[in-house]
Structure 1
Amino acid sequence: MKSWRSSVTLFSSFQWLFFIFANTVVVPISIGAAFDLPPNVTEMTMRSSLIFTGIACVFQGWKGHKYPLMEGHSGLLWGVMLNLGLSAPSIGLGYAEIGGGIATGLIAAGVVTLIISAFNLISHVQKIFTPMVMTVYLFLLTFQLIFVFFKGMLGITENGEINIPVSFLSVGIVLLVSILKIKGPRTISNFSILIGIIVGWIFYELLFPEAGGEMGSTGAAFSFFPLGAPNLQFGIIAISFFAGLLNLCNTFASIQAASELIGDEAEHKQYRNSLFMTGGFTIFAPLLGLVPYTPFTSSIGFLQSTQIYERKPFLLGGMLLTIIGLIPPFISFLATMPITVGNAVLFVAYLQLFGTAFNSVKGQQFTSDTIFRLAVLVLIGVSLMNVLPTAFSNLPALLQPFLTNGLIMGVLISIVLEKSVNWTRYEQLHN
């Protein structure tokens, strides 16, 4: 029995490792492309990303919120930084100017987050991020991530066309993981994510041997503030600062969802400790050109898929990721994992996140009036996600990053409506 438990822990740790790695590796590569970084600088940010993502996971699981929740690069801030980097030519600023403004804004947001934790202002922040705001956030986060991974698993070419053979393989991986999850015995179902990655990787190498690795080693070049030294580009600072504070949604939504899933009630201290660590990592991230960290709400989908809630495999997975970041040959090996395979597996894992969002509205009675507090915001956010950023190019540069991010706009409007509209009154009118 003891050897069986050890085997389960070992396989669970590797499953966590691949999950965290698949969620991490694409982020520094995409940021490097958006800010036109040299390959050796991009490799440096990737190695730093692996090392500190592992460290952040271990610290959060050990002394922070103490749940098996991945501490990873914020999807919200990732989108904001990509939008700002890609919009550099249209707003007349250089990459270093935009990157420096982002660094200043994020450092300021990290300091404010530390202040919120240090002075125990959690209750005041929770009044802003109400349950309905969290519900809107969960729905929009689900759509944003599913869009990313669905497009990623299709292997879209530089010409914008679908790579049909790769797409067929991705669909096969999705079906395999889904069947294992739904129909397989628990001993197999719990490791459906890991099985999907390994089987998909093998078939990809057999079917597309000419593709090779996604990224080769070029020799990392270390530097501080690779995206740009902190400056006073106030428009960029304002956007980054606001997005950094809005990133607190992740902490509250993740801890609340994890506590409900595991079946306990999160203590006030867990929120406070988690925010303190997130604030510290947010200040530190710009120093190495990284997207700031946050507890991954999408980890809930992973936990629901695997049904393994113990912390030990999660902590070991984080340690393994840090070790890999410190040993270049390991990075070179894992960097050959096809991104399309990772996207296909994560697509299935994150379908569970929709269930988390759906469950968050249980017990809420909607009328023809009060449905607006959810439907309008979610549909506006999803609509903005599907509008090309260039459509807003004739608007002021300060507004463009907001309007091109459906997640930010949906949550922002939700906060305004929850504070300005007495929804209880409308509910009573229909009783």
Structure 2
Amino acid sequence: MNLVIGIYGYILIPIQLIVGLIDEITPPIFSEKVSQELPDSLIFTLKDSGHQIHMESSEEVSDKIFKFIHKYEKNYNWICICDVSIYRPEYFKTGKEGVPMSLFQLNNTCFNKKRYGTLFLTTIQWFVMMLTNAMVIPLSIAYLFQLDVNETSIFLSNTFLLVGLFSLLQAFFGHRLPIIEGPAGIWWGVIFITYSINTQLGLNRMDIGRGMELGLIIVGFCLLCMSFTQMINKISSLFTPLVNGIFMLIMPLSMSGVLLKGILGIDPVQSYKNITLIISLMVLLFLLILTKFKRVKWIHSFSLLIGLMVGWLVYYLLGFKKSFSMEPLFTHPTFFFWGYPELNWGILSISLVTGILMLSNIAVSIQSMLIVKQSKVSKKIYENTGKVTGLSYMLSGMCGTVGLLPLASSSSVVQLSGISSRLPFILASFIMLSLGFFRGLSNLVSSIPDPVIYIVLFVLFIQLIEIGFKFFNLIEMNNNNLFIISLSLMIGIGAMYIPYTFIQQFHPIVGNIIGNGLLISIIIAISLEQSFKLLKLKHK
């Protein structure tokens, strides 16, 4: 049992559960409880089988086992197949006997250098993904708000600390999946539009920052209340595969312009010239080839990490490097970066609207990861996630950083690497958390050239579009659904091109929604899908 549970109760080897749907002795509900205790496990239900699945569906059971072995034989030395005829939830936490398990040895040694090497590289890759996702938005906001070098360093350190902390809290107490908690792109857009509108109204950068702090704190409190009253479960039911698929298409498309400008070296945060274009395109092409290079599995699995390191090295050798200071080496979190929170009704109202609509981001991030992992949604997953996200909003407000959300791009990492275990993710989160206390190290990793960061994110977002189409495979492509997809994409993408001069004519609440194509597309998709469902019920 200890071989299976590993360090601090987290799986070190893959586990598969197989259950018969019409099993009366050990009903499927017991297997679902086991799966919830072991969220990294895979569960398969055989529709026409009862308790004796190995006799009633021997070919199908054998097929599932062989596919399971083939999937993991290159990265793991052991796998586990459970018999849940005797079920005691506490056994999974204490390591007591009680759940018979079959351990299959795939290689000669249980924990050899290859196993540790895979764990190390996967941990580093997760850390790199956390880092790249945590850097782009804060650096853009630092440029927008005209922060100096010291202020930018503090702003980044606060962000790194919160990203690591809440990635850990979600992995232990929230959704319990390897999903990065990072600065949300939609909050990025809201901050840009809010800054543009409110500066026209005479507010300075500190006033806007203090208004955003209070907005995030109140949104976090509301989300906590919704989670404890289980309202979040009802709202999350609105985010069907149709809505999620639209979200997964619109979100990367809304970021594509910013990412492409960053790759080409025309991003306002850091300007490069001449040779940058050629270098960036070569690194991008190199990384795209790596993601499709499946003959050597470790190259494909760690393509993002390899691409980032190669890109960083190439830029460094050609003299494109940022200056940085290792002082001060150690620091503590800075609360109320912009000053003490202040009430601004315009900023507060758009924060509340955005916070509610961002439940779609939570639902999509979880469901996209479950699709990649081939797992099912547990009953309390949204409720638990909402509680941790509510706390993250409140602490983000108190630290003056961008609001954090589960990032849908995390599923891209698992899809590329084929490794869905939480252990490397948890170790990477600890590294990220510690980085927030060592500002000197934060400055060092922040010296990665901006085009390289944008290239890695660009490739990740390509994977998101692929996952979006996988959501559409779960629905029937009838006339109504095709109409919803087409209209939502058309209006959502079109809204991205509305000029700020037009948006500024409206009230801040309306202006922030009109200027956000992602919000508009989600509102249209949910409204149309629910309307068609009501019409269908009336006809019946």
Tell me: CA distance 1:97–1:17, structure 2 relative to 1, closer, same or farther (3 Å): same
Q: Which residue of 1 aligns with 2:354?
A: 243
Q: CA deviation at 1:35?
A: 2.7
Tell me: CA distance 1:292–1:132, structure 2 relative to 1, closer, same or farther (3 Å): same
Once the two structures are overlaid, the 10-residue window that deviates more, 168-177 or 198-207, is 168-177
* Higher alpha-carbon Rg: 2
Alignment partner of 2:182: what SS?
Answer: strand
What is the CA deviation profile of residues 154-212 of structure 1, one whole-angstrom value per residue up to 9, with x for unaligned ones? 110659998442122121122111212212411111010010011000101112x1x43
Are positions 1:122 and 2:232 aligned together? yes
Once the two structures are overlaid, the 10-residue window that deviates more, 187-196 or 371-380, is 371-380
Give 2:529's match in structure 1, choosing from 410, 418, 422.
Answer: 418
Tell me: CA distance 1:369–1:262, structure 2 relative to 1, closer, same or farther (3 Å): closer
Q: CA deviation at 1:125?
A: 1.0
> Counterpart of 1:382 in structure 2: which amino acid?
I
Give 1:134's match in structure 2, choosing from 224, 227, 244.
Answer: 244
> Counterpart of 1:313 in structure 2: which amino acid?
P
Report if aligned partners of 1:96, 1:229 keep a CA contact under 8 Å in 2. Answer: no
- TM-score, length-scaled by structure 2: 0.73
Q: CA deviation at 1:295?
A: 0.8
Distance 1:321 1:168 in 2: 32
Tell me: CA distance 1:155–1:373, structure 2 relative to 1, closer, same or farther (3 Å): same
Report if aligned partners of 1:95, 1:228 keep a CA contact under 8 Å in 2. Answer: no
Distance 1:266 1:100 in 2: 38
Tell me: CA distance 1:19–1:223, structure 2 relative to 1, closer, same or farther (3 Å): closer
Q: Which residue of 2 aligns with 1:213?
A: 322
Are positions 1:107 and 2:255 aligned together? no
Are positions 1:67 and 2:152 aligned together? no
> Counterpart of 1:340 in structure 2: which amino acid?
P
> Counterpart of 1:342 in structure 2: which amino acid?
I
Q: Which residue of 2 aligns with 1:10?
A: 120
Distance 1:49 1:214 in 2: 21
Distance 1:423 1:183 in 2: 47
Once the two structures are overlaid, the 10-residue window that deviates more, 390-399 or 295-304, is 390-399
Q: Which residue of 2 aligns with 1:297?
A: 408
Give 1:342's match in structure 2, choosing from 428, 446, 453.
Answer: 453
Tell me: CA distance 1:348–1:275, structure 2 relative to 1, closer, same or farther (3 Å): same
Tell me: CA distance 1:3–1:271, structure 2 relative to 1, closer, same or farther (3 Å): same
Relative contact order (alpha carbons < 8 A, sep ≥ 6): 1 or 2 greater? 1
Tell me: CA distance 1:110–1:176, structure 2 relative to 1, closer, same or farther (3 Å): same
Report if aligned partners of 1:17, 1:318 keep a CA contact under 8 Å in 2. Answer: yes
Alignment partner of 2:405: what SS?
Answer: strand
Q: Which residue of 2 aligns with 1:84?
A: 194
Once the two structures are overlaid, the 10-residue window that deviates more, 376-385 or 85-94, is 85-94
Once the two structures are overlaid, the 10-residue window that deviates more, 213-222 or 9-18, is 213-222
What is the CA deviation profile of residues 337-366 of structure 1, one whole-angstrom value per residue up to 9, with x for unaligned ones? 111101112211221110111111114334
Tell me: CA distance 1:406–1:78, structure 2 relative to 1, closer, same or farther (3 Å): same
Q: CA deviation at 1:221?
A: 10
Tell me: CA distance 1:226–1:86, structure 2 relative to 1, closer, same or farther (3 Å): farther
Q: CA deviation at 1:309?
A: 1.0
Tell me: CA distance 1:222–1:300, structure 2 relative to 1, closer, same or farther (3 Å): closer
Are positions 1:312 and 2:312 aligned together? no
- TM-score, length-scaled by structure 1: 0.91
Distance 1:323 1:31 in 2: 23
Q: Which residue of 2 aligns with 1:278?
A: 389
> Counterpart of 1:94 in structure 2: which amino acid?
N
Aligned residues: 426
Are positions 1:52 and 2:159 aligned together? no
> Counterpart of 2:166 in structure 1: which amino acid?
A
Alignment partner of 2:237: what SS?
Answer: helix
Once the two structures are overlaid, the 10-residue window that deviates more, 130-139 or 58-67, is 130-139
What is the CA deviation profile of residues 302-355 of structure 1, one whole-angstrom value per residue up to 9, with x for unaligned ones? 221222211111111111112222223322221111111011122112211101
Report if aligned partners of 1:40, 1:218 keep a CA contact under 8 Å in 2. Answer: no
Alignment partner of 2:429: what SS?
Answer: helix
Distance 2:479 2:534 in 1: 12
Q: Which residue of 1 aligns with 2:288?
A: 178
Are positions 1:225 and 2:326 aligned together? no
Q: CA deviation at 1:265?
A: 0.9
Q: Which residue of 1 aligns with 2:138?
A: 28
What is the CA deviation profile of residues 54-77 of structure 1, one whole-angstrom value per residue up to 9, with x for unaligned ones? 111111112221111111111111
Q: CA deviation at 1:99?
A: 2.4
Q: CA deviation at 1:369?
A: 5.1
Instruction: Name the structure with the higher helix share.
Output: 1
Tell me: CA distance 1:263–1:398, structure 2 relative to 1, closer, same or farther (3 Å): closer
Q: CA deviation at 1:87?
A: 3.2
Distance 2:475 2:445 in 1: 45
Tell me: CA distance 1:287–1:295, structure 2 relative to 1, closer, same or farther (3 Å): same
Tell me: CA distance 1:365–1:214, structure 2 relative to 1, closer, same or farther (3 Å): farther
Distance 1:215 1:299 in 2: 29
Report if aligned partners of 2:293, 2:299 keep a CA contact under 8 Å in 1. Answer: no
Tell me: CA distance 1:243–1:95, structure 2 relative to 1, closer, same or farther (3 Å): same
Q: CA deviation at 1:254?
A: 1.2
What is the CA deviation profile of residues 93-143 of structure 1, one whole-angstrom value per residue up to 9, with x for unaligned ones? 232332233222222221111112112223311233333322222211121
Give 2:279's match in structure 1, choosing from 169, 194, 201.
Answer: 169
Are positions 1:234 and 2:345 aligned together? yes
Identity of aligned residues (%): 27
Are positions 1:39 and 2:154 aligned together? no
Report if aligned partners of 1:214, 1:335 keep a CA contact under 8 Å in 2. Answer: no
Report if aligned partners of 1:136, 1:374 keep a CA contact under 8 Å in 2. Answer: yes
> Counterpart of 2:322 in structure 1: which amino acid?
G
> Counterpart of 1:246 in structure 2: which amino acid?
L
Report if aligned partners of 2:197, 2:508 keep a CA contact under 8 Å in 1. Answer: no
Alignment partner of 1:409: what SS?
Answer: helix
Report if aligned partners of 1:214, 1:338 keep a CA contact under 8 Å in 2. Answer: no
Alignment partner of 2:309: what SS?
Answer: helix
Q: Which residue of 2 aligns with 1:372?
A: 483
Distance 2:441 2:339 in 1: 29
> Counterpart of 1:309 in structure 2: which amino acid?
S
Tell me: CA distance 1:253–1:159, structure 2 relative to 1, closer, same or farther (3 Å): closer
Once the two structures are overlaid, the 10-residue window that deviates more, 409-418 or 243-252, is 409-418
Alignment partner of 1:294: what SS?
Answer: strand
